[in-house]
């Protein structure tokens, strides 16, 4: 069983990885001039690259 400290460290690493993946996705979409599709408030939204 993991200690609370280990669980918190794992959570922090996981969240940092998700943030990095999101940033790379945005960068990729801008490079390819592709629409980003996300869900906001239960509705699908298309976001044009800036």
| pLDDT at residue 38, rounded to an integer | 93
Quote the CA–CA distance of 49 and 29 in Å, as a whole number: 7
C-alpha distances in Å from residue 45, one per residue of 4, 8, 16, 21, 34: 38, 33, 25, 20, 14
Domain boundary assignment for the chain = 4-47
Tell me the per-residue pLDDT of 9-48, one tens digit each, with 9 for 90 and over.
999 999 999 999 999 999 999 999 999 999 999 999 999 9
């Amino acid at each position: 069983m993991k200690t609370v400290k280990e669980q918190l460290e794992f959570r922090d690493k996981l969240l940092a990885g998700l943030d990095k993946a999101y940033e790379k996705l945005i960068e990729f979409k801008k490079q390819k001039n592709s629409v980003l599709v996300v869900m906001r408030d239960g509705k699908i939204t298309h976001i044009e690259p800036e």
